[in-house]
Amino acid sequence: MKRTQRVMCLILALAMAACSNQKETAEIVKPAQYTIEQFMDIENINGGSFSADESKILINSQISGIFNAYEIDIATGERTQLTNSSDNAIFARSYMPNGEIIYTSDKGGDEITHIYVRKTDGDIIDMISDSTAKASFYGWNNEKTILYYGSNQRDPKYFDLYKVDIENSSTEDGVFSSSVIYTNSKGLNPSAISNNSRYVVLSETITTNNSNMYLYDSESGETKLISEHEGDVQYSPQYFSLDDSKLYYLTDEGNEFMYIKSYDMESGEISEVQKENWDIMYTYLSKTGKYRVVGINNDARTEIKIYDANDQPIQMANMPEGDITGVNISDSEQQMAFYVSSSKSPRNLYLYNFETQEVKQITDTMNPEINPDDLVAGEVIRYKSFDGMEIPALLYKPKGLEPGEKVPAMLMIHGGPGGQTRLNYTPRLQYFLNHGYAILAVNNRGSSGYGKTFYAADDQRHGQDDLQDCVESKKFLASLDYIDADKIGIMGGSYGGYMVMAALTFAPEEFALGVNYFGVTNWLRTLKSIPPWWASFREALYKEMGDPVADSIMLYNKSPLFHTDKITKPFIVLQGSNDPRVLKVESDEIVEGARKNGVEVEYVLFDDEGHGFVKKENNITASKEVLKFLDKHFKTEKAEEAI
């Protein structure tokens, strides 16, 4: 009897174990697999200018394959396309008071941006008569009677400040007449303008960690330093009070993070206004000062705080969660336009009504073919680097992994130097995840958003300490039980592309392969050939990266192009022919040099792109080519499959 009971108990235990295993297996849900076309079949949007009567809102959308200007009827949601470019990206900047729109555009990514006015009858006026000049739209005065812009048409190195009196400006041959407020002959760049147009705050970049503010009086012509300091301090002018009695600015003086201070125009007295435990990114006033908006860089996402005229925080109900950007309060101060995004959701436009506290979603940009549950949310993690410094990163784990299953992984390195990878929707990232690759987006030392000590930690040590951060991140990945430690690669664009080539050159056995999007490979040439309009930033860049003359040996030693004999692992390069920052020759030569040594290299060139790819079809092609390359080396069983 006892034996029978033991047998029955054993059978029951085995049955329960089997049920348990079936239950565990059943809980593993494999995500549907999507194409890059599906991931990119979202509506990439930005902008948010209100029309004068606040019935419409102006946005930019890439739904046609390239950015064009659209307006949305707030009441009905009806959308009207205002521009129809098929070759050059168009970015609408603002409505004119009479309903016309202002937009900017360049030619094929060459960054020679002009400012255009699209009249209500559809005619287009180029506000910049010199075809070789570059211009930037700076905004309006508080009454929206004067338009400000900067242009280097007088001197390619520097941007002068112009104003256009919209109400009284006569047009000759369709071009608005403008006048110069400030002639920039020393590389002091306009950053804030008083409401009466008399005062201009000028910013001087000394290094990437140190700057100055000057106050220029357009009536007297006098320029006064208003930021006397010792050591490395950053200053970022923001706005004048409505009566022009105070200037509000950001600084990290005596602090690890940027915070708000004010400068009294009459007495010169400086007062602290607001501090946070993270960098304050920006602050501004609504039209009559009823609200003050503050944007905070809170651990790879933007946090918004809004205060009333008495500096009391506004509690806004029903606000969606995510990275909130593009905040714009209408002139009536009744509505606020803003965008919300996350790792699993592209940017969507919302409206908030201050009177009713109603939140209204205006757009739905996600492709309905994609199940949001199949997307992966980024997780903020931190690991210790070689010297004990804590490095923040965003970890993405593919969904639907079986117990014990191991997958290949890619490091993703942002551009810059000084950029930051944030918790936003990135189509190619989700594409790689969906096809079985783990991603670790590294914010290595030198990244912004984590304090000035962290930001300066890689100065003149690029390709060294920041590269070691990447090597340590590989070790972190290898410690995860679902990562195949032998199949970890590195990818990045611009500065991130340099990090890819530095890794393959100076740590050749660490990463299995590389994906280089328009990365610097020859610092000597890149630093000598930077665009003329970067002149005011050139010396600061030299102090961070190195002077191509004084520091030529150091720059030679850290430039992968001169050490291609050390490269042993395969890589792919993606480059735009019109890139004015990282010249095409950079990619041509690194490809040639590596191939001479028998290294497998694939090269994808886009004749109609600049620094970064703005056309959807090119981004689709780039992502397909990268996945084919990854699968070829990491998933041999998939190498012949169609993607």
Q: Report whether 531 contacts 556 (CB < 8 A).
A: no
CATH class of the 31-184 domain in this structure: mainly beta
pLDDT (0 to 100) of residue 19: 45
What are the structure tokens assigned to 270, written together? 């400086």
Count of C-beta atoms within a 10 Å radius of residue 536: 18
Q: Among 137, 227, 208, 239, which residue's Cα sits nearest to residue 178?
A: 137
Each domain of the chain, given as residue ranges in start order, spans 31-184, 376-635
In this predicted model, what pLDDT tens digit does every residue of 558-605 receive, in sequence order? 999 999 999 999 999 999 999 888 889 999 999 999 999 999 999 999
Q: Which residues pair with 601 in a beta bridge?
A: 571
Average pLDDT value over all residues in the chain: 91
Residue that has been written with the tokens 């435990």 in this structure: 277
pLDDT (0 to 100) of residue 23: 42
In this predicted model, what pLDDT tens digit does every residue of 441-485 receive, in sequence order? 999 999 999 999 999 999 888 889 999 999 999 999 999 999 999
Q: What is the mean pLDDT of residues 201-211?
A: 93
pLDDT (0 to 100) of residue 638: 57
Q: Report whether 82 contacts 116 (CB < 8 A).
A: no
CATH topology of domain 376-635: Rossmann fold (3.40.50)
Position 174 confidence tier, pLDDT thresholds 50, 70, 90:
low
In this predicted model, what pLDDT tens digit does every residue of 242-291 receive, in sequence order? 999 999 999 999 999 999 999 999 999 999 999 999 999 999 999 999 99
pLDDT (0 to 100) of residue 462: 87
pLDDT (0 to 100) of residue 426: 94
For residues 216-226, one letter each, b for 16 or more C-beta atoms within 10 angstroms of the residue's C-beta and e for the rest, the string is: bebeeeeeeeb
In this predicted model, what pLDDT tens digit does every residue of 311-366 receive, in sequence order? 999 998 889 989 999 999 999 999 999 999 999 999 999 999 999 999 999 999 99
Position 536 confidence tier, pLDDT thresholds 50, 70, 90:
confident
Position 542 confidence tier, pLDDT thresholds 50, 70, 90:
confident
pLDDT (0 to 100) of residue 543: 82
Q: Percent of the chain, pLDDT > 70?
A: 94
Q: Which residue has the higher pLDDT, 6 or 36?
A: 36
Q: Which residues pair with 327 in a beta bridge?
A: none
pLDDT (0 to 100) of residue 170: 56
Number of H helices, E strands in the chain: 11, 37
Q: Is 497 helix (H, G, I), strand (E, B) or coil?
A: helix
Position 8 confidence tier, pLDDT thresholds 50, 70, 90:
very low
Distances 617 to 63, 66, 622 between C-alpha atoms, Å:
11, 9, 9
Q: Among 590, 526, 601, which residue's Cα sits nearest to residue 564?
A: 590
Count of C-beta atoms within a 10 Å radius of residue 55: 13
How do the residues of the chain divide into helix, strand and coil, expressed in percent and rounded to 5?
20, 35, 45
